[in-house]
């Protein structure tokens, strides 16, 4: 799915790559059911990872690092592309996204309150969306070899995080 795109995923190839008999349609009624199961497994792990990160000493910095970590990003992009045209998968991802977003807001609302920052864009909702949007854009462009403005916007985002959460601590201190 990551290497060739969702369209290249087929029951036959899965069975073949896994060295298993092609009984996919015995275990999954349709391919969508298989994709949904795959998505849920990844989402469960990612959510655990997110909660771990959001409970660290500098949740905003850690969240930003997590967003920029491409290890799940490519797969997520494929699911979004797939969901654009499959209703069942779209609603699955939408509900999952709300869960992730709620977790982010729950953790970061506390951070905002604690730090009592007076940044002009201070709502947790705006900050979370800004980080999410910028990170996704940067990683997408990276895949195309584009980098115009990347350092500038990264600098801006990290300045925002610093205003809210303070200077980034070194790994040993975090």
Residues making contact with a copy of itself (CB under 8 A): 3-8, 74, 77-78, 80-85, 90, 93-94, 97-98, 101-102, 105, 120-121, 123, 125-126, 128-130, 132-134, 136-138, 140-141, 143-146, 148-150, 152-153, 155-156, 159
The reply on whether position 29 binds DNA by CB under 7 A is yes
The whole-angstrom separation of Cα 169 and Cα 160 is 15
Stretch (H or E) spanning 3: none
Q: Of residues 3, 17, 19, 26, which one binds DNA by CB under 7 A?
A: 26
Cβ–Cβ under 8 Å, residues 135 and 67? yes
Considering only residues 4 to 23 of the shown chain, the ones binding DNA according to CB under 7 A are: 8-13, 21-23
23 vs 129 by CB, closer to a copy of itself: 129
CB 22 within 8 A of CB 11: yes
Q: What angle do CA 65, 66, 71 make, to 5 degrees?
A: 120
What is the binding site for DNA (CB under 7 A)?
8-13, 21-23, 25-26, 29-31
């Amino acid at each position: 799915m990551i290497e060739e795109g969702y369209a290249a995923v087929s029951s036959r190839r899965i069975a073949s790559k896994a060295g298993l008999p092609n009984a996919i349609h015995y275990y999954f009624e349709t391919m969508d059911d298989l994709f949904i199961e795959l998505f849920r497994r990844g989402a469960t792990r990612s959510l655990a990872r997110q909660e771990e990160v959001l409970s660290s000493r500098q949740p905003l910095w850690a969240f930003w690092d997590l967003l920029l970590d491409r290890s799940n990003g490519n797969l997520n992009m494929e699911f979004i592309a797939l969901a654009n045209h499959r209703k069942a998968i779209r609603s699955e991802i939408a509900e999952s996204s709300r869960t992730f977003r709620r977790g982010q807001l729950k953790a970061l609302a506390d951070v905002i309150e604690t730090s009592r920052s007076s940044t002009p864009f201070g709502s947790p909702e705006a900050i979370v969306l800004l980080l999410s949007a910028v990170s996704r854009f940067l990683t997408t462009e990276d895949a195309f070899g584009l980098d115009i403005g990347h350092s500038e916007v990264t600098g801006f985002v990290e300045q925002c995080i610093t205003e809210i959460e303070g200077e980034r601590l070194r790994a040993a201190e975090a």
